[in-house]
Structure 1
Amino acid sequence: MSNTLLIKRFLPYYKKYKWILLLDLFCATLTTVCDLVLPLIVRFITNTAINSFASLTVEIILKLGFIYLLLRIIDGIANYFMADIGHVMGAQIETDMRRDLFGHLQKLSFSFYSDTKIGQLMSRITTDLFDVTEFAHHCPEEFFIAGLKIGVSFIILANINIWLTLIIFAALPVMIFTTTYFRRRMRTAFKRSRVQTGEINAQVEDNLLGIRVVKSFANENIEEIKFAEGNRKFLEIKKLTYRYMAGFQTTTRLFDGLMYLLVVVFGGIFMINGTIDPGDYIAYLMYVTTLLTSIRRIVEFAEQFQRGMTGFERFIEILDEPTEYENQTNEVELTNVVGDISFEDVSFQYNDGEDEVLSHIDITVKAGENIAIVGPSGSGKTTLCHLIPRFYNVTSGRILIDHQDIQTLTLHSLRSQVGVVQQDVYLFSGTVYENIIYGKEDANRESVIQAAKHAGAHEFIEKLPNGYDTHIGERGIKLSGGQKQRISIARVFLKNPPILILDEATSALDNESERIVQNSLKKLTQGRTTFTIAHRLTTIKNADSIIVLTEDGIVEKGSHAKLISEEGVYYDLYQMYQELDELNEVF
């Protein structure tokens, strides 16, 4: 994106703090006045001393000194405000942006997260926005001060000697054109650096989350080699960044010397010719110093500016990602759910051009029925169930709940009526109580305990060091697999949804844990429309109906007894899993 477009997108964040910004710019004006007045004072004293030394009295010098002291006091107060309140404004803008980005991330679809590394997102919400504080504060301030100094200096110097002024200022466009070359390349290098930072974050996150796997295979050296490669790429990008920075800074220093050279040579010639006075000559040197100081600050700020623009561009890239809630009109609330569900000619593919995962699926489920979905891996069992709460939207066809198309329902009301128990349980870092009440934030403690009892979790929770207030560590690391699963079931009990999805909820558990969890799930499914994705087919024999899903779609449907008698796909799968269960019992 161009800097102009990015700045236009950034400006609305100043609206909330416009009075602070205006006061900051006013203070910047006061500090600029002090810098611009000093050369005029020196010019006046010098010319007066040369032309009429007797008229230069101590009283005049003291008055000028007092004026300058007063300006310096004002400058100090103004500078303090700029350094304090101005920076706070930048931090507030950064906070607002981080809030907007996090809020937007909550609304993005499953498809987005399927294609995006979490480490990259972490980099954008933290590292990328760190530079925004300085950028938000200094960007308007530095450019305002530089513009003010350059504009006022030009007017003052033009009144002294227009030709020398034009000669000096003629160098500025050449300087701007030359430094733009390096500035653009700095911007590209900074963005590559940010991307690689995200890659490193993603790699570290992946390694640390899987550290037990790494250690169990004694693959620490392999991980170190992989990390070293990413780290090396980061170093190469940094080297390129500093090369462009060096070129940028060297160019500005050369132009510094060129402008002083112009004043010394042409100013000296004009003074010899009597076109300017010695005091004017000194004033020119001082104003050129002021100009170059302003330009140097802009140059120094250019790196910060590019970092800020790069971070903001990456921020905008995420903010422009379409959310689940876009393009939804005339949505209605889903209330008083009975639980009838219908799939009508439903097809689904993840992305355009890819093969369909599901094709022309028709299913009718009555309220309170328990439907089991079985089939080989990759047949789309989980995807089928994820279409119900609209984790993904159907490609064609429609899904109805109580005869209402789910595409016409608000996502919040739809998902509040659906409970999901997954194989891969995710518990948040915190206490047992905090994880269970996540199912219904307005529940009281008695309701949480009752949900835990229904899930068969109350007994083991009571034995924990602090009971329900025990911290369970990151992702519930202090609990066993069966304990984590029972807490997740308690969470769904508390939510009390009329529609339930069990996604291989017991496949990763040992036999004893599976027995306990199955008893909890039996209680949970009572009176609810339930979709059970089964790994162990022996656990779904009592389902009201079993759907056999393959790459060819639904190939069989019926009760356990009916499908066994037909000796088709389900019969073969059941025999295979029964043999595996027997082997597991032996070992």
Structure 2
Amino acid sequence: MLGIAAFLGIAVAALGLAMAIFSQRLIDDILPKRNFEKLYLGIVLVFLLLLVKEGLSFLRQHFLIKQAKGFNLRIIDFFFGHLLRLPKPFFDMRKIGDLTARLNDTTRIQRVISQLAGNMMIDILAAMVSLVFVFTYSVPAGLICLLVMPLLFVLIYKNNTAIISKQKNVMVTYAGAEANYISTLQGIEAIKGNNNQHLFADANNVVYKKYQDAVYNLGGFQIRLSFMINVFGLIFLIGILAYCSNEVLNNKMKTGELIAILSMCGTMLPSVANLALIMIPVNEAKIAFDRMFEFTSNTSEDDNGVAGELNFEILSVRNLSFRFAGRRPLFHNISFNVKKGEVVALMGENGCGKSTIAQLLQKNYAFESGNIMVNQTLQLSQIKISEWRSIVKSVPQEIHIFNGTVLENIAFEDAVNDTNHVLQFLKEYGFAVYIDGLPQSFMTMVGEGGISLSGGQKQMIALARALYKKPQLLILDEATAAMDRDSEQFILKLLSKLKEQIGIVFITHRLHVLKSFCDRIYLLENGEITAFGNHAELAYAAIICIVNTGRIWN
């Protein structure tokens, strides 16, 4: 498509010279001889040529926008698809607005591709053909053009480094402004609750001002550069006009030839300036491409390993240690087992590492030392991520609800492709009673981030989402913390029925939830497991500890 567009661009440029040639013949030949037949034929011919030119321009634009659509779809599919396959720690340290801003920079790349494929070919042809015609009419005028035009390239090249720096600053500050918008709007409840609208409005003004300052600095620099180029072009055209006028007065050149040379130079100068300035958008596209590759050059999640059907029997965690980069160890020497048919609880205060253990079990993070064995024969690291995540499901503390219906949030594509099966699942597992309480039942639109749902309703949807995939290992991280008593009891009874078929890791800091539900409870304190047993054993140990030390745990 780009090739066709380039060819049509060349044809358009060639046809565009028809008016300059006709003007010369009109002034020097047709009008002085009062040749009405040639005049009318020439006007008709020029009209037809210009009409064809406009038709070709239309086709060229059609091919360019069609190519742009295909290119943008392919490049976003590549970059966004790669982005989704990056490890979770990559996203932990980056702002969403920065990533979306970089994805939006694909428009800059496409704009330059279209410019290179279309306008550059036209400008090259227009400059070459115009120069040839100027030489045809006047060799000295052609030599002046040939000697002066390279100076435009020198002028642009000298300012290239400064332009690149300012373009990069615009993109960086734009990404910062985008990230600030998203972060602020996501926290609107906290902002209003603390009556801090003015504080965040002022902070936004500071961030956005940096972006606008960068745009202003780049725009001002480009204006100054354009001014220098225009002054250069003006001096050049005045010089050509003075020389050619002198030739006409000395009867060495015809008036029509003067008009034609000026017309050709008027066509050639912008084309040469465009060719000289092409490095500005090329640099902009290169910067945008490099910024996108900053994250696509990161290694995707390693999905190598054992493939095939995996029947979960037991998960064994042995001497597990973990730390976030640049921080002290979060926990060390953590060991526990969970078998199919068991509910194992991890208890501990906030920040002790319970949720991080859940991330490790899902292969979202890599542990520092220790080992995780599956069925006592396979290391977790040996199992393909896609295979492992097909049998392991999780309900995290922070539940993400997508902007759609309740049914779509539970079953995704099956909400449309296999609706009856999803509804049968909801009825069989008992979720239908709770979902029917929503305004439009399972077709209720939940809004961005589930804004129309309570915390307990979000957790109910997340549990249904996890159980719909029939997991063999279920990881629940404070999965009932926001529910009312009735909803929580329903979930605990449901899990008690299902636990014969699956293994469950239940993370909580609320001991009463586990009283008649868990087979074993592990207490995580100060980075290690300090005690484990069932509810009765731990309650007895706590009483003995209070009697002996005055504290619950040493």
Which TM-score applies when normalising by structure 1?
0.82
Using the TM superposition, name which of 215-224 and 289-298 deviates more.
289-298
**Residue 506 of structure 2 aligns with which residue?**
532
The reply to whether residue 23 of structure 1 matches residue 4 of structure 2 is yes
Give the C-alpha shift of residue 43 in structure 1: 4.3
Give the C-alpha shift of residue 497 in structure 1: 0.4
| 3-state DSSP of counterpart to 1:392 | coil
**Residue 446 of structure 2 aligns with which residue?**
472
Contact 1:358 1:380 in 2 (8 A): yes
Matches within 5 A, 1:506-517: 506-517=480-491
Using the TM superposition, name which of 530-539 and 395-404 deviates more.
395-404
1-side partners of 2:340 and 2:413: how far apart?
22
The reply to whether residue 410 of structure 1 matches residue 388 of structure 2 is no
**Residue 126 of structure 2 aligns with which residue?**
149
Matches within 5 A, 1:247-262: 247-262=224-239
| 3-state DSSP of counterpart to 1:170 | helix
Match of 2:267 among 260, 284, 290: 290
**Residue 436 of structure 2 aligns with which residue?**
462
Give the C-alpha shift of residue 361 in structure 1: 4.1
Change in 2 beyond 3 A, CA 1:274/1:548 = farther
1-side partners of 2:215 and 2:318: how far apart?
55
Contact 1:123 1:197 in 2 (8 A): yes
**Residue 119 of structure 1 aligns with which residue?**
97
**Residue 194 of structure 1 aligns with which residue?**
171
1:101 maps to a residue whose letter is F
**Residue 77 of structure 2 aligns with which residue?**
99
Give the C-alpha shift of residue 508 in structure 1: 3.5
Using the TM superposition, name which of 411-420 and 468-477 deviates more.
468-477
Give the C-alpha shift of residue 339 in structure 1: 3.0
Question: What RMSD in Å do the two structures reach over aligned CA positions?
Answer: 3.5
Change in 2 beyond 3 A, CA 1:213/1:576 = farther
Contact 1:452 1:490 in 2 (8 A): yes
Change in 2 beyond 3 A, CA 1:218/1:246 = same
The reply to whether residue 83 of structure 1 matches residue 64 of structure 2 is no
Contact 2:23 2:256 in 1 (8 A): yes
2-side partners of 1:39 and 1:200: how far apart?
49
Change in 2 beyond 3 A, CA 1:163/1:523 = farther
Change in 2 beyond 3 A, CA 1:323/1:190 = same
Match of 1:230 among 207, 222, 228: 207
Contact 1:375 1:548 in 2 (8 A): yes
Give the C-alpha shift of residue 520 in structure 1: 3.7
The reply to whether residue 367 of structure 1 matches residue 348 of structure 2 is no
2-side partners of 1:156 and 1:312: how far apart?
40
Which TM-score applies when normalising by structure 2?
0.87
Contact 2:330 2:527 in 1 (8 A): no
Contact 1:456 1:486 in 2 (8 A): no
**Residue 312 of structure 2 aligns with which residue?**
338
Contact 2:131 2:264 in 1 (8 A): no
**Residue 34 of structure 1 aligns with which residue?**
15
Contact 1:429 1:475 in 2 (8 A): yes
**Residue 384 of structure 1 aligns with which residue?**
357
**Residue 8 of structure 1 aligns with which residue?**
none
Matches within 5 A, 1:548-559: 548-559=523-534
Give the C-alpha shift of residue 114 in structure 1: 0.5
Give the C-alpha shift of residue 553 in structure 1: 3.3
What are the Cα deviations for residues 72-120 of structure 1, in whole angstroms up to 9, with x where unaligned? Answer: 1221111111233322322332233233333223212211110111122
Using the TM superposition, name which of 364-373 and 294-303 deviates more.
294-303
Give the C-alpha shift of residue 184 in structure 1: 4.5
Contact 2:342 2:503 in 1 (8 A): yes
Match of 1:211 among 178, 185, 188: 188
1-side partners of 2:250 and 2:122: how far apart?
34
1:389 maps to a residue whose letter is Q
Contact 1:485 1:517 in 2 (8 A): no
**Identical aligned residues as a percent:** 24
Give the C-alpha shift of residue 169 in structure 1: 2.7
Give the C-alpha shift of residue 337 in structure 1: 1.4
Give the C-alpha shift of residue 268 in structure 1: 5.0
2-side partners of 1:348 and 1:512: how far apart?
37
Change in 2 beyond 3 A, CA 1:431/1:395 = same
The reply to whether residue 430 of structure 1 matches residue 407 of structure 2 is no
Change in 2 beyond 3 A, CA 1:260/1:445 = closer
Give the C-alpha shift of residue 32 in structure 1: 0.8
Q: When the two structures are aligned, how many residues end up with a matched partner?
A: 549
Contact 2:431 2:464 in 1 (8 A): yes
Change in 2 beyond 3 A, CA 1:46/1:571 = farther
Using the TM superposition, name which of 177-186 and 90-99 deviates more.
177-186
What are the Cα deviations for residues 396-426 of structure 1, in whole angstroms up to 9, with x where unaligned? Answer: 4443323223333332221110111123222
Contact 1:379 1:550 in 2 (8 A): yes
Contact 1:451 1:491 in 2 (8 A): no
| 3-state DSSP of counterpart to 1:207 | helix
**Residue 6 of structure 1 aligns with which residue?**
none
What are the ranges of 5 or more consecutive residues in structure 2 without an aligned counterpart?
none
Contact 1:343 1:361 in 2 (8 A): yes
Match of 1:498 among 452, 472, 475: 472
**Residue 582 of structure 1 aligns with which residue?**
none
Give the C-alpha shift of residue 477 in structure 1: 2.5
**Residue 12 of structure 1 aligns with which residue?**
none
Contact 2:342 2:500 in 1 (8 A): no
2-side partners of 1:577 and 1:267: how far apart?
102
2:398 maps to a residue whose letter is D
**Residue 86 of structure 2 aligns with which residue?**
108
**Residue 299 of structure 2 aligns with which residue?**
322
Change in 2 beyond 3 A, CA 1:96/1:437 = same
Matches within 5 A, 1:124-139: 124-126=102-104, 128-139=105-116
Using the TM superposition, name which of 178-187 and 533-542 deviates more.
178-187
The reply to whether residue 348 of structure 1 matches residue 329 of structure 2 is no
Match of 1:71 among 49, 55, 74: 49
